[in-house]
A and B are shown apart, each in its own frame.
Chain A
């Protein structure tokens, strides 16, 4: 799951190949993902893992790195 999310994030949000994105890279506070684009990330996670992430849990903090996203998704998968 971790690599799947990382690959999605790289394919979707890496604009400049000089900017490396790893599991720990701050995505929102690092400026890779803006709050508007975060919505499509949430939709991707919900569709891919067949989960429902409540809007109040889909915070910029919860989406701020691949590792944090994995924790978030794990909280909603059975």
Chain B
């Protein structure tokens, strides 16, 4: 054993620093399935509290859908619990290939490769496709998993201001001599809920001969008229070279992700992407569940339509009550509070009122942009939203922020 007192003290001090900075993360134990109504033990050891969940990525309300659960049971019975292998040794079943075909058809791409998670897809895709002769140009607000993936890649990197097409064009001009230029963005930005301008980006990529990469984790299944994702919303189907997405959010919420796009690019990932080569295949039970999710989604658009209605209702309610919101057209609705302590206190008060929504602040979002991020689900009914709205208004009144502008809230509470 080499875990000396010196090392122990060092880690204890680091943890203390995190606590003192007010950014120590605590888990809240949920004693029920994922749904609009959940039972939560928080703080640890306290009695269970029934709350309305306003912060899950369960956009389509399929995480505990009976048909998905039934399909997962069948998959468990027919294909077993685990594969004890990576994909290319003996970890590929017929259902893995079936799911890859389903995703390809759903997203309107040429081919798809599954990964254990979208985090893994993003960790592997850049290194598999790019070398030091190439450049990655990413939006400043892309997800942390993309940043980690870019760090693992030897290509040069640069960034452009969030959704700023002029700045992107400047960067494409600046790097026009690179062998491969890849423009990288989220489809729906997870913290702000706004949607990337994929149509304009696709045009710029065409003009400057660049590849376009989109992480559509917060869009697949519900953004766009038939839920195909951001590329459908922006009329850019067929124009995106690489889409990564997850099955851990709207598409069943369990785990798993993929890279979908140009045939040769997907094949390169199959040959070279390290998380695909060195990590276990997705468990058969999860694959079976996701296959059923696609069956449900191919039948009709009822769930994404309900989600859209719910999101509009929620956004309108908060806006009319006088909260400052981030503009957007997605189920992610950030209630802006700007001050980190106010966001923490607000979240705590919401919980006391039976509403589960988390405060986000620096470094998760830029300094001075603290917020409560709310996420709407097709699993919410209007009575859930009304109750949540009532609680938000009650606490908004307590802190006297209703009807105030950004500048007025900052003047009152500071940054």
Kindly state the interface size class of chain A when it binds its partner.
10 to 19
Residue contact B140 to A37, C-beta cutoff 8 Å: yes
Minimum CB–CB distance from B362 to chain A (whole Å) comes to: 6
Encode contact with B along A31-63: 1 for CB under 8 Å, 0 otherwise: 110101101100000000000000000000000
Residue contact B159 to A36, C-beta cutoff 8 Å: yes
Chain B residues contacting A75 (CB-CB under 8 Å) are none
Encode contact with A along B361-376: 1 for CB under 8 Å, 0 otherwise: 0110011110000000
Residue contact A30 to B158, C-beta cutoff 8 Å: no
Residue contact B140 to A15, C-beta cutoff 8 Å: yes
Minimum CB–CB distance from B241 to chain A (whole Å) comes to: 22
Assembly CA distance A23 to B216 (angstroms):
38
Residue contact B367 to A15, C-beta cutoff 8 Å: no
Residue contact B159 to A37, C-beta cutoff 8 Å: yes
Residue B161, interface by CB 8 Å: yes
Residue B78, interface by CB 8 Å: no
Minimum CB–CB distance from B343 to chain A (whole Å) comes to: 15
Of B159, B366, B368, the residue contacting A40 (CB under 8 A) is: B159
Residue B157, interface by CB 8 Å: yes
Minimum CB–CB distance from A40 to chain B (whole Å) comes to: 5
Residue contact B140 to A34, C-beta cutoff 8 Å: yes
Assembly CA distance A15 to B159 (angstroms):
12
Of B157, B162, B367, B407, the residue contacting A39 (CB under 8 A) is: B157
Residue contact A36 to B147, C-beta cutoff 8 Å: yes
Chain B residues contacting A18 (CB-CB under 8 Å) are 406-407
Encode contact with B along A8-21: 1 for CB under 8 Å, 0 otherwise: 00001101001000
Determine the residue in chain A with the shortest Cβ distance to B157.
A39
Minimum CB–CB distance from A27 to chain B (whole Å) comes to: 11
Assembly CA distance A29 to B147 (angstroms):
19
For window 334-372 of B, CB contacts with A under 8 Å fall at: 362-363, 366-369
Chain B residues contacting A32 (CB-CB under 8 Å) are 366
Chain A residues contacting B161 (CB-CB under 8 Å) are 12-13, 15
Assembly CA distance A13 to B160 (angstroms):
9
Residue contact A31 to B159, C-beta cutoff 8 Å: no
Minimum CB–CB distance from A2 to chain B (whole Å) comes to: 23
Assembly CA distance A49 to B247 (angstroms):
48
Assembly CA distance A72 to B368 (angstroms):
27
Q: Quick one: which of A29, A36, A37, A40 has the most chain B CB within 10 A?
A: A36
Minimum CB–CB distance from A34 to chain B (whole Å) comes to: 7
Assembly CA distance A36 to B150 (angstroms):
10
Residue contact B367 to A30, C-beta cutoff 8 Å: yes
Assembly CA distance A32 to B147 (angstroms):
17
Assembly CA distance A36 to B363 (angstroms):
13
Determine the residue in chain A with the shortest Cβ distance to B161.
A15
Assembly CA distance A34 to B144 (angstroms):
12
Determine the residue in chain B with the shortest Cβ distance to A13.
B161
Assembly CA distance A45 to B272 (angstroms):
35
Minimum CB–CB distance from B195 to chain A (whole Å) comes to: 17
Chain B residues contacting A34 (CB-CB under 8 Å) are 140
Chain B residues contacting A13 (CB-CB under 8 Å) are 161
Assembly CA distance A7 to B63 (angstroms):
49
Minimum CB–CB distance from B211 to chain A (whole Å) comes to: 19
Chain B residues contacting A12 (CB-CB under 8 Å) are 161
Residue contact B158 to A40, C-beta cutoff 8 Å: yes
Residue contact B368 to A31, C-beta cutoff 8 Å: yes
- Cβ contacts A to B, 9 pairs, < 8 Å: A13-B161, A15-B140, A29-B367, A31-B362, A31-B367, A31-B368, A36-B157, A37-B140, A40-B157
Having A31-B366, A36-B151, A40-B159, one finds 10 other A-B pairs with CB under 8 Å, namely A15-B140, A15-B161, A15-B162, A18-B407, A30-B367, A31-B362, A31-B367, A36-B147, A36-B150, A39-B157
Q: Which 3 A-B pairs have the closest CB atoms?
A: A31-B367, A31-B366, A37-B159
> A-contacting residues of B (Cβ < 8 Å)?
140, 147, 150-151, 157-159, 161-162, 362-363, 366-369, 406-407
> B-contacting residues of A (Cβ < 8 Å)?
12-13, 15, 18, 29-32, 34, 36-37, 39-40
